[in-house]
Amino acid sequence: MTLANIPQTVITIEPANLKRWTVQDYHRMSELGLLNGDRTELITGQITLMAAKGTPHVTSLHLLANVLRDRLGNSALVRTQDPVHLDDFSEPEPDLAIAQGTVLDYVEQHPRPEQIYLVVAVADSTLTQDCEIKDKLYAKAGIADYWVLAPQKRQLHIFRKPTPTGYTEHLILTEPNQASLLAFPDFAIALTSILPPIS
């Protein structure tokens, strides 16, 4: 019998029995090389592996980042795939975040919720997680504007009006609609401009 033919047993552990890591613990493990160079993020005290990025994901992220940097100039900082410090137990790495100030404002610490204008997730295989789990994480932290861009479905999910239990507003846009940021309502982004061309 090969290893591939051995039946896998799923063991469920009660959440109360799991160790919750702090952001400080997480940084220390990274410094010591204990995360083996894997792409991870800390979500509610648990270290989670990040999904691989497909080409539509990468293309959409570049298109969106370029549009935002062109439009915003020096009025805000566009960060891609960098940590956001939500609280002592959560430090996700969203695909894109728009923060106040400049890169030098974050030499000592990652941006916190009150410094964030927008968080964006680009969802290839993670649409359910981004729209049903991470939305609650960002809402609880008070992030006012959270977007999930789904290139394969050619949709933009916009979450607004955060409460401690989730967002109360969820809008789904399709082409040829446009979206504006809450913090910068004077310019609109055409959904077509941030999606890969249809071949």
Per-residue pLDDT for 82 more than 80?
A: yes
pLDDT class of 18 with cuts at 50, 70, 90: confident
CA dihedral 128, 43, 135, 131 (to 10 degrees): -10
Q: What is the mean pLDDT of residues 100-128?
A: 95
**What's the rounded mean pLDDT across residues 141-157?**
97
Instruction: State whether the Cα torsion 117-123-129-132 is positive or negative.
Output: positive
Interior/surface letters 101-129, b for 16+ CB within 10 angstroms, e for the rest: eeeeebeeebbebebbbbbbbbbbebbeb
| pLDDT tens string 45-54 | 999 999 888 8
Range of weakest confidence among 6-15, 70-79, 167-176: 6-15
- Tell me what pLDDT residue 1 has: 42
Q: Where are the domains of the chain?
A: 7-47, 51-194
CATH 3.90.1570.10 fits 51-194, yes or no: yes
DSSP 165: T
Mean per-residue pLDDT over the chain, rounded: 92
Distances (CA, A) of 143 to 16, 70, 84, 89, 137: 27, 23, 11, 16, 9
- Residue 77's pLDDT band, with cuts at 50, 70 and 90, is very high
93/112 Cα distance (integer angstroms): 12
Q: Would you state the structure tokens that stand for residue 181, as one six-digit string? A: 């940021």
Average pLDDT on 186-196 reads 95
